[in-house]
Structure 1
């Protein structure tokens, strides 16, 4: 999902109210980062057909969010929706944790109230933002992402009985920046989320560093009162998945996960295009035996298909399609035009799936051309690989729950040609935005 103009990034605060799911997201009406952030708003009754609305929250002059309503989450409380988020005020050291209340079914939020004091100087906190609030044991728990002066990222935990007065109860986890299992753990942890699974609770963080900016979404098990020094593992093995947002409870019976699909083109390119950023397909998630978080398209995604499928090899697509390789190996190649293509190599013997974008136009070289998903296959009964193509977006899922999310920017307009192994099936899929509001 993306808007037709402006800058979109982190998904925020997904909630379900009276059968309707509301998803908020970081939004700017123009594709320039100096425009203050507001909370965009989309809603759906089936996780697939989305309706865009007017922004649900905008910076309030003179308030603690005067220069931006940044990331957070939301809770349903009776007929109200309570948003917890980071408010930015120019010149302040931290983004303050604020609460705003919607009394109109999540369509708009009232003025903010700061509910958590900013860290004190002796706490040696250098970054503090992105509250995640959920109910636990008849009270509320809040997680806030942080960076510390010793170069470590951390998740700070708070407890409350009324959602307004909060007590710090210690860090859930923390780790000095380093390379663990080939992944940079970052010196700050943005967008902390706690996802319940059958194997216990999993924390998701988005690694971030002052000099290098955003990294990747990492996960690790948490539990108990003592803070853990985690061994974080990558959630998505592409280059464009960041700022995951979790809806812990949903009427479909399982938690739902979304992420921000970042751009891989230059700033000049997306500013000239007039838009940037997208929200991923909804995903289900589970914990594998090695403690890593795995994801798959939510079952609702099947409703995007508009036909019964046809052989994928040699098929022509109009820019949107799902390509399913039920089993076995080989390569899926999407030809965009003369000497312009990308390849997804499926290697069951090595247990890997590789996306090669080295012949795709428009990708910033700094974004990297190859992405590899390890330990990609299992005997779950899921297809070996499902590939979703939506314009510049590629979302790839494997049977073992590995995913690769990346971008390509073909110079050649559709139709494009698919080459695939025998037995691969192609489904045409539809756009999932029903209508867009006026501002």
Structure 2
């Protein structure tokens, strides 16, 4: 997505070689020009404009309190960055950070619900603040839900939505002896909230080889095909973030992974958009902190249209407007030379796509019967870059109108979407700048993507 800035140009440390890292900078994924970004928050359509907020710090120093960064777009493709929409208020209930939450429209005004962080307190308080300028900035916050007192190990990240005439809220939580939970509340006026019990709970377990978490943070609620679908981020005190999971809250909880890559976390939902239900996510770094040679970290994923598969798992594809980034009509991918912003489409069948960054560095994506595998074990000579393989089965649906695989590369970000709606997101750090060479099946096509 094209990202323009209403802030100053990115600052670079004295003596740092811009060419050493320039090809790793995403050009059309949302990110601030400098500093640290993590969770996306509160995407919302206000008239013809999309607002997206996100956790950010102006530097890479994690001791700096978190703000709500802000970007807008007319089409989910061209994004403009603005000044932060919300910042901690000294002496207020968010003194040490405006943490995750969402936004809703109330009588034409944008209202935010989020977690206020104060150092030394065991929980982040659930706060609300109102914007009177269309979502550009928010007024002073106040608390609307009491902090927990019943052995919670975590309590944060409210998500609010409306069903008929009732407003509902869920909060991410985990409890000693009960496991991960999403307590719920209801209200008629967005100010007075009544506890309505847990919408879903699950003792910590391992499902399909994945930890379901001691607690769930960043809970999101979608309604798809008349079913209430929760999207949560599994978390534990000893391990921190794990996977983004989804499940139907009205049947016994069976969590399924939302993204099968290594670097998608803290999903943020837009329940109703011009394209239907959408998800954004935080694409984590995929490299050790000593390898952060730039003055920025963190990227927001492409916005994704979501639906339910036959197994009730959440499936996804990029919003249709992402196609507007393509330059030309596409050319054969096999033998193509490419820059750091490109898309490779494999229409059908099995095969292998290899992006050769250099003689020593390459990325391999393999399509085999019903399985897609991404192998980045040789993607980077940088010792701090993470490697390894990721794989998903039930990857292809020949009856769909989607290609077998869409491979979207933007600097250090890679997002792959399959015809069955499987998504795999990861990060790559080739040390060799473009031009790179593509090896692909004869039917595959390649586009440069121009921000």
TM-score band (shorter)?
Answer: over 0.9
The offset of 1:62, in angstroms, is 0.3
Paired residue for 2:277?
Answer: 255
Unaligned runs of 5+ in 2: 1-28
Distance 1:162 1:93, change over 3 A: same
Q: Is the 8 A contact 1:15 1:75 kept in 2?
A: yes
Tell me if 1:40 matches 2:69: yes
Paired residue for 1:233?
Answer: 256
Paired residue for 2:217?
Answer: 190
Distance 1:389 1:45, change over 3 A: same
Paired residue for 2:53?
Answer: 24
Paired residue for 1:141?
Answer: 168
Partner of residue 373 from structure 1, selected from 369, 377, 392: 392
Tell me if 1:429 matches 2:449: yes
Partner of residue 13 from structure 1, selected from 31, 37, 42: 42
TM-score (norm: length of structure 1): 0.94
Segments of 4+ moved more than 2 angstroms: 362-368
CA distance in 2, matches of 1:229, 1:55: 40
Counterparts of residues 207-218 of structure 1 (less than 5 Å): 207-218=234-245
Q: Is the 8 A contact 1:183 1:233 kept in 2?
A: no
Partner of residue 395 from structure 1, selected from 415, 423, 446: 415
CA distance in 2, matches of 1:238, 1:32: 27
Q: Is the 8 A contact 2:288 2:386 kept in 1?
A: no
Counterparts of residues 68-217 of structure 1 (less than 5 Å): 68-120=97-149, 123-150=150-177, 152-198=179-225, 200-217=227-244
Q: Is the 8 A contact 2:38 2:56 kept in 1?
A: yes
CA distance in 2, matches of 1:230, 1:198: 18
Partner of residue 358 from structure 1, selected from 373, 377, 383: 377
The offset of 1:304, in angstroms, is 1.3
CA distance in 2, matches of 1:369, 1:151: 34
Aligned Cα RMSD in Å? Answer: 1.3
Write the deviation string for residues 144-163 of structure 1: whole angstroms up to 9, x where unpaired: 00011126111110001111
Unaligned runs of 5+ in 1: 432-439
Write the deviation string for residues 184-237 of structure 1: whole angstroms up to 9, x where unpaired: 1010101001111115121100001111111010011123xxxx6511011110
Q: Secondary structure at the match of 1:421?
A: coil
Write the deviation string for residues 95-153 of structure 1: whole angstroms up to 9, x where unpaired: 00000110011110111111111012xx2211000000000120110010001112611
Distance 1:365 1:330, change over 3 A: farther
CA distance in 2, matches of 1:204, 1:363: 34
CA distance in 2, matches of 1:151, 1:33: 31
Q: Secondary structure at the match of 1:358?
A: coil
CA distance in 1, matches of 2:200, 2:125: 21
